Amino acid sequence: MCRGSGGWSLGMAIQELTRWRRVAKSLKEATFHSQVLQMNADQEVTEVPAEISKGPVPHIGDPHEG
């Protein structure tokens, strides 16, 4: 991995930094998207009791219903 005078050239260091920044950015975006999905899932869970309180809602594919 040594080039010429030993160690990394400035160009290699900049390339590596750019690559890691890209990785960090995509990780941050993925984390953000998973948080948004989690928030949406939490909202759906809190909305379920309101639906139940309206009355019996037929569940399609429920094995207990005739």
Residue written as token pair 């309101």: 50
Segment 18-27, tens digit of pLDDT: 999 999 999 9
How many CB atoms lie under 10 A from the CB of residue 8?
13
Using pLDDT thresholds of 50, 70 and 90, give the confidence band for residue 4. low
Segment 8-60, tens digit of pLDDT: 789 999 999 999 999 999 999 888 888 888 887 777 655 555 555 555 656 66
Instruction: Tell which wins on pLDDT, 63 or 15.
Output: 15
Residue type, 52: I
* Residue 64 reports pLDDT greater than 80: no
CA distance 25 to 13: 18
SS3 for 4? coil
